[in-house]
Structure 1
């Protein structure tokens, strides 16, 4: 089989079509994570009241662990602006007012398939990073071979270079104006 721009472009695109779709989909979701974040959504909310000591310094890991052991396995906490937030394993979060002790417990879970696909963009697994780097190189090859396929007035030497420049201007403008 002879390797040409067209065959290399086509075969890499076929091989990576699933990952292109998955990265595109999860990338769009990540762009809108302030509105909807499928990696954890609240499926249950309960009111709760804690017995909080008068001094904030007494809110230690040991104190909070003993106070909340029936909720779940303690994973960490923070006190900020008169509020305490306690994190538990299994995506459980307790928020309470330090003065009154009144608050809520949120039980969260991932949206099936969509929430799990977000790991593709967020994974720090070394195998996945290498695979993603190879994918990035393949995307460059797909882009460059795609540019070189068409000939004539609709090819790169005709109008293609103008579209390529226009396409590159958008990210550059964004970087200089908004970043």
Structure 2
């Protein structure tokens, strides 16, 4: 039985090694996306100055956004927008973003491109493509197979799961639970 578990463990790990590396790398980057977000990069920027309406509520409307988009000859199609604190951020199709200070009317339009390889890797974490969701579920099952077969590979000696491994596994489970309790 030990030899079969070792083979299953090894073969499933080999099959998913590329995805394990991609998910691990992009997951680390996404954890720090406030500091560094390399999914795409700005290849062109344009400063803009906008006359703002006296009624600040009018800023939060698609009509207002579409009007100034036409004035600036933004060829891209409007996608969505949000207002946080004093900033209006407008998202357009074709990876164009406008950041506008709604107190001064000053802003910047950024034309972006996806960063080769790194951008696609990060996309794996964010996509909701139906096929990818199923594939990710199968990947999760594969990770469970790797975990469970890894627990029973060593059956003799002082480093077995039964003697030593369960303590490390328990510590590995308790640590994230403590973090969730403290910071949720």
- Report if TM-score (shorter chain) is over 0.5: yes
1:27 equivalent in structure 2: 27
1:108 equivalent in structure 2: 112
The structure with higher relative contact order (CA 8 Å, sep 6+) is: 2
TM-score, normalization by structure 2: 0.82
Aligned length: 177
**Alpha-carbon distance, 1:63 to partner:** 4.3
1-side partners of 2:63 and 2:26: how far apart? 39
TM-score, normalization by structure 1: 0.84
In structure 1, stretches of 5+ residues that fail to align are none
In structure 2, stretches of 5+ residues that fail to align are none
Candidates 160, 168, 171, aligned match of 2:165: 160
Q: Is the 8 A contact 1:91 1:109 kept in 2?
A: yes
Go from structure 1 to structure 2 and tell me whether the alpha carbon gap of 1:118 and 1:83 turns closer, same or farther (over 3 Å shift): closer
Alignment of 1:71 with 2:74, yes or no, is yes
SS at match of 1:22: helix
2:55 equivalent in structure 1: 55
2-side partners of 1:99 and 1:145: how far apart? 59
Go from structure 1 to structure 2 and tell me whether the alpha carbon gap of 1:161 and 1:55 turns closer, same or farther (over 3 Å shift): closer
Cα RMSD (Å): 2.3
